[in-house]
Amino acid sequence: MKIGFIGLGIMGKPMSKNLVKAGYSLVVRDNKKSAMDELAALGAAVAESPCAAAQQADVIFTMLPNSPQVKEVILGENGVLQGAKPGALVIDTSSIAPLVSREIGARLAERGVRFIDAPVSGGEPKAIDGTLSFMVGACEDDFAEAKPLLEKMGASVVLCGELGAGNVTKLANQIIVAVNIAAVSEALLLAAKAGVEPEKVYEAVKGGLAGSAALNAKAPLIMDRRFDPGFRINLHIKDLNNVLDTGHEVGAPLPLTAAVMEMMQTLRADGHEAKDHGALALYYEKLANAEIKR
């Protein structure tokens, strides 16, 4: 089996490396030559375009920033659609709008090419160690074919429904993460302003109902003043834009998401867009003229 991998950024590069380590033959494409050279040094072939990568592959992965880039790479000039063989399987691991996933899938189906959406959660650290969580939208047969490949890059691979369901699930994930980090920041800021050590509050609540993966991952970093990504504010803004757009399209009210989106927009206006989404704490600190620290 020959695998094409298009998009060798923060997530795509370690994901593709894990496929190489698992023994798969890869052909890769990225706009950055240095990223392709890094994979070539591990034995991957390099393609001049998405079309050329697709021509050589049975399965084609994409990991790209957002809906417009995925549409361009798959449906655009010299895109995957022009090179993919009938029966090929395209797996988009980007986080994009669910309706765009369905649009792309319909276009590929016209040429006999299969498509599934399989966005991920876990960020760069889990991409590196191969423990990502994949949320998949696909028919059962395509899922069965894709699952062994996804398991080389992830610890959790869950079929969420038909095409588009993966990205709906990822949007739900991003709501929970954003609101959770905001709540953690708000709670620790309250402790700091009330004269109680935030670290003591964290230690006291983490084992109870208030405990969460977001609390455990972000509270220590916030208290240590470490806001290097991680998952950048500007990427979470992108995801929340897709959340709100999808909510409007399907008639789902999302007031908490909208509130956290405005916090993130404020952080971007203050020049913090490249910081980790744990920098939501900085929004509260600015309002309260206080600092959350150990």
Which residues have a catalytic role annotated? 170
Measured distance CA(219)–CA(47) in Å, rounded: 43
Environment class of 251 (CB within 10 Å of its CB; exposed 0-12, middle 13-18, buried 19+): exposed
Measured distance CA(262)–CA(197) in Å, rounded: 28
Secondary structure tally for the chain: helices H, strands E: 14, 9
Measured distance CA(91)–CA(20) in Å, rounded: 17
Measured distance CA(135)–CA(200) in Å, rounded: 35
Residues 192/198/202/204 CA torsion (nearest 10 deg): -90
The DSSP H or E segment spanning 3 is: strand 2-6
Number of Cβ within a 10 Å radius of residue 195: 6
For residue 189, what are the CA distances in angstroms to 40, 230, 232, 240, 289? 48, 21, 21, 24, 10
